[in-house]
């Protein structure tokens, strides 16, 4: 599903440049539940941004769903994001003036789906994350855990190949963290590839594979107990 | 263009502007103010123009008034400073010599007299006139009629008085027609009451009596105090004025280059000055109106730019979930156009309403200062189209700004 070969990325800082990713090799197969762990500055967010087509790499190859990602313009990137990827952010990133339902339906709007149809599908996904009753509430009227569940529903609504979650539990307390992780697990159980970035061991422990990143290189890549149990 | 008719596009725009009420209203007010000012200014200028037109409307504007003063040059044995008077011979001579140019020629004699009605009295102007005065300066009669040829022929002792004179001299609700007044101890029958023009009026409150009667009563022989001449359509009024004065100078043995002997006023020339003023004012109105409109559009661009900055994150989110740069651009430009259009419409409506109020306040009745303050539909349409085009162009700037920021940077924005 995601195949990365010798990926490099550096950011210019003034005259110098900061080498963030120093040759990453990673292969994630369909249906995997992977977490990327690392302290801040390890390059994990950069990796996710490149995988999520929000940023471009300098060197190396990146295949998404078998397709080599190269020389993407914004338009193509937008279409690929819409088609293959679902995003879950630490700060939820819901549009404040749209209701939960409208937020979930928005990716379908950019897909060009008719309003009635997309609202119906969005409602199905809200039901799936247990927030059907909250469909017409604004994000400001929802708790943090509820917001993140709306964001997950939004990530799922286009039926993507991969769900990318950037610190999905970073802004949540332990109880809601568990409920969000349970939701991600349930999604993974249905066959969805889930790619989580986190620095919390407890969160990573609930995934099936942990990739540890330090200073731009992978220092370990191992299956967890959860995976072994299955 | 298909996206224009897509209800989803409008749903998105409606959603985004409905949820950003403050900035939406500020934006709208900016443009609304521009087009509102344009409408009100143009309408007021039009109203003023109309009222100026009306001001001169009941007066034949191609008129010249001529009277005598004293000579400033010795000529043919006469010393300078000689005083002389116009007479009926002059009238006849001018009428025959300028038969083609002169449409109406009214000789006039005027004096002030005590006018008495029973126990009431007042001092008023008394004017000996011909019926044609009514054609040069239309009299608005409240009761009865103006002088007619029969009054002239029979030297009738009849008078037409002003509304104020009627109010001063008569009991309340007394019917004036057929009543008698005493002017200089001679009884005259009142045959008409007129309302003096609220605009241009050289006579004020004046008792009109037949010219022939005046001549007999005041023993003025053939003398004429002054005359009003109205030219035919298409006559060069200034040329006629010069010719008439030259003829009169010849008749009265005045040096042809005597500047002081005759006084004259050319009404057309005076009106020309006012018309020039109005034209200047209209130009100013256009200038101010369009400048305000442009300022309003720039305000929209400015606010949209701020908005785009404010919404960087939202735009980043939208792009992360699959919005193409084009769709973002379309949305922002369309928002700009939509806002300018709505603001423009509101401005036109509000401006029209204010014009309506102005019309109610200043546009009614005889003394109206602004008559029919209106703006032409084509002018509104032109202003409107300009506004929408400018709105589109100005919307392109923030739209571009919204898409040059990479989604990743947009998302990082807090």
Chain A: closest CA distance from residue B15 (Å): 8
B282 lies within 8 A of chain A by CB? no
- Output the tens digit of pLDDT for each of chain A's 230 residues: 889 999 999 888 888 888 888 989 999 999 999 999 988 878 888 888 889 888 888 888 999 888 888 888 888 888 888 889 998 988 888 988 888 999 999 999 888 888 889 999 999 999 988 899 999 999 999 998 899 999 999 999 998 989 999 888 888 888 888 888 998 999 899 889 999 998 888 888 889 999 999 888 899 888 887 777 66
Chain A: closest CA distance from residue B319 (Å): 6
Which of A79, A93, A96 lies closest to B411 in CB terms?
A93
Q: Which residues of A touch B (CB under 8 A)?
A: 49, 52, 54-55, 74-75, 78-79, 81-83, 87, 89, 93-98, 102, 106-107, 109-111, 114-115, 154, 158
pLDDT over threshold 70, residue B367? no
Q: pLDDT averaged over chain B?
A: 83
**pLDDT (0 to 100) of residue B200:** 64
Chain A: closest CA distance from residue B388 (Å): 27
A140-149, B194-203, B353-362: which has the highest mean pLDDT?
A: A140-149
Nearest CA in chain B to A54: B408
CA distance linking residue B310 with residue B258, whole number of Å: 79
Residues of A in contact with B319 (CB under 8 A): 74, 78, 81
B321 lies within 8 A of chain A by CB? yes
- Rounded to 10°, the helix B377-404/B21-57 angle is 160
pLDDT over threshold 60, residue B414? no
Q: Tell me the domain boundaries of chain B.
A: 2-57+272-412, 63-267
Task: Give percent above pLDDT 90 in chain B.
Answer: 5
Asked if B84 and B67 count as a contact pair (C-beta separation under 8 A), the reply is: no
> Which H helix or E strand runs over A11?
strand A2-13
pTM comes to 0.64
Which of B314, B403, B408 lies closest to A95 in CB terms?
B314
Residue A170 lies in a domain: yes
Per-residue pLDDT tens for B274-330? 778 878 888 888 888 788 778 877 877 787 788 778 778 888 888 888 888 888 888
CA distance linking residue B204 with residue B175, whole number of Å: 22
Tokens of A227: 């995976």
Q: Which of B59-63, B172-176, B235-239, B287-291 has the weakest average pLDDT? A: B59-63
Three-state DSSP state, A199: coil
Preferred mutation among A76, A109, A114, A158 to probe B, highest tally of B CBs within 10 A:
A109
Residues of A in contact with B320 (CB under 8 A): 52, 54, 81, 87, 93
**pLDDT (0 to 100) of residue B201:** 67
Which of A96, A110, A115 lies closest to B321 in CB terms?
A110
B327 lies within 8 A of chain A by CB? yes
Burial label for B58, CB within 10 Å (0-12, 13-18, 19+), is middle
CA distance linking residue B319 with residue B308, whole number of Å: 14
Confidence of residue B56 (pLDDT cuts 50, 70, 90): low
Chain A: closest CA distance from residue B307 (Å): 14
Number of domains in chain A: 1
Tell me if ipTM is over 0.90.
no
Which of B19, B317, B324 lies closest to A75 in CB terms?
B324
Specify the higher pLDDT residue, B368 or B81. Answer: B81
Asked if B346 and B32 count as a contact pair (C-beta separation under 8 A), the reply is: yes
Q: State the residue range of the domain holding A106.
A: 32-56+74-229
Residue A68 lies in a domain: no
Q: B100-132 in b/e burial notation, b at 16+ Cβ within 10 A? A: ebbbbbbbbbbeebebbbeeeeeebbbbbbbbb
Confidence of residue B2 (pLDDT cuts 50, 70, 90): low
**pLDDT (0 to 100) of residue A133:** 92
Residue from A140, A141, A187 nearest A168 by CA: A187
Task: Please give the radius of gyration of chain B, using alpha carbons only, rounded to the nearest integer.
Answer: 34
Cα dihedral across residues B34, B40, B46, B48: positive or negative: negative
Which of B11, B18, B408 lies closest to A115 in CB terms?
B11
**pLDDT (0 to 100) of residue A120:** 93
Residue from B170, B134, B155, B132 nearest B209 by CA: B155
Per-residue pLDDT tens for B61-110? 778 888 888 888 888 888 888 888 888 888 888 888 888 888 888 899 98
CATH of the domain at A82: 3.40.50.300
């Amino acid at each position: 599903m995601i195949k990365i070969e010798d990926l490099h990325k550096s950011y210019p800082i003034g005259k110098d440049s900061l080498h963030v990713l120093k040759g990453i090799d990673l292969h994630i197969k369909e249906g995997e539940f992977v977490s990327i762990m690392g302290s801040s500055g390890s390059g994990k967010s950069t990796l996710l941004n490149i995988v999520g087509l929000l940023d471009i790499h300098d060197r190396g190859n990146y295949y998404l769903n078998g397709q080599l990602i190269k020389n993407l313009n914004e338009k193509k990137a937008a279409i690929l994001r819409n088609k293959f990827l679902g995003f879950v952010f630490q700060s939820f990133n819901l549009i404040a003036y749209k209701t939960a339902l409208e937020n979930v339906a928005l990716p379908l709007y950019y897909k060009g789906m008719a309003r009635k149809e997309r609202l119906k599908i969005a409602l199905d996904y809200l039901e799936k994350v247990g927030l059907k009753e909250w469909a017409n509430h604004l994000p400001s009227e929802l708790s943090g855990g509820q917001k993140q569940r709306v964001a997950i529903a939004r990530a799922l609504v286009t039926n993507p190949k991969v769900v990318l979650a950037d610190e999905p539990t970073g802004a949540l307390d332990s109880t809601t963290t568990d409920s969000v992780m349970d939701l991600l697990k349930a999604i993974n159980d249905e066959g969805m590839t889930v790619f989580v970035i986190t620095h919390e061991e407890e969160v990573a422990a609930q995934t099936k594979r942990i990739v540890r990143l330090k200073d731009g290189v992978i220092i370990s890549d191992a299956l967890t107990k959860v995976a072994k149990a299955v | 263009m298909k996206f224009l008719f897509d209800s989803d596009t409008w749903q998105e725009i409606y959603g985004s502007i409905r949820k950003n009420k403050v900035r939406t209203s500020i934006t709208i007010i900016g443009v609304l103010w521009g087009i509102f000012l344009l409408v009100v200014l143009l309408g007021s200028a039009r109203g003023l123009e109309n009222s100026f037109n009306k001001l001169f409307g009941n007066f034949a504007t191609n008129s010249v008034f001529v009277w005598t003063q004293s000579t400033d040059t010795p000529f043919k044995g006469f010393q300078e400073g000689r005083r002389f008077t116009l007479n009926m011979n002059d009238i006849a001579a001018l009428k025959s010599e300028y038969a083609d140019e002169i449409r109406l020629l009214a000789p006039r004699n005027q004096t002030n007299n005590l006018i008495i009605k029973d126990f009431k009295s007042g001092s008023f102007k008394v004017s000996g006139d011909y019926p044609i005065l009514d054609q040069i300066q239309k009299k608005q009669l409240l009761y009865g009629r103006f002088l007619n040829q029969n009054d002239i022929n029979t030297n009738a002792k009849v008078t037409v008085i002003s509304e104020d004179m009627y109010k001063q001299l008569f009991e309340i609700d007394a019917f004036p027609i057929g009543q008698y007044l005493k002017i200089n101890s001679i009884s005259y029958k009142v045959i008409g009451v007129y309302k003096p023009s609220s605009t241009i009026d050289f006579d004020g409150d004046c008792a009109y009596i037949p010219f022939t009667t005046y001549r007999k009563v005041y023993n003025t022989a053939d003398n004429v105090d002054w005359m009003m001449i109205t030219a035919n359509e298409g006559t060069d009024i200034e040329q006629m004025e010069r010719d008439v004065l030259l003829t009169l100078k010849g008749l009265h043995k005045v040096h042809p280059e005597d500047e002081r002997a005759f006084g004259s006023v050319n009404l057309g020339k005076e009106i020309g000055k006012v018309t020039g003023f109005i034209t200047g004012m209209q130009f100013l109105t256009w200038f101010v109106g369009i400048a305000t409109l442009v300022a309003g559009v720039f305000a929209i661009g400015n606010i949209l730019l701020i908005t785009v900055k404010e919404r960087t994150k939202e735009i980043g989110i939208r792009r992360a979930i699959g919005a193409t740069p084009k769709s973002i651009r379309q949305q922002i430009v369309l928002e700009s156009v939509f806002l300018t259009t709505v603001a423009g419409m509101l401005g036109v409506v509000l401006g029209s309403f204010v014009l309506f109020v102005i019309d109610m306040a200043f546009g009614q009745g005889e003394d109206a200062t602004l008559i029919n303050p209106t703006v032409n539909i084509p002018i509104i349409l032109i202003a409107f189209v300009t506004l929408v085009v400018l709105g589109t162009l100005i919307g392109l700037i923030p739209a571009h700004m919204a898409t040059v920021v990479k989604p990743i940077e947009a998302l990082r924005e807090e």
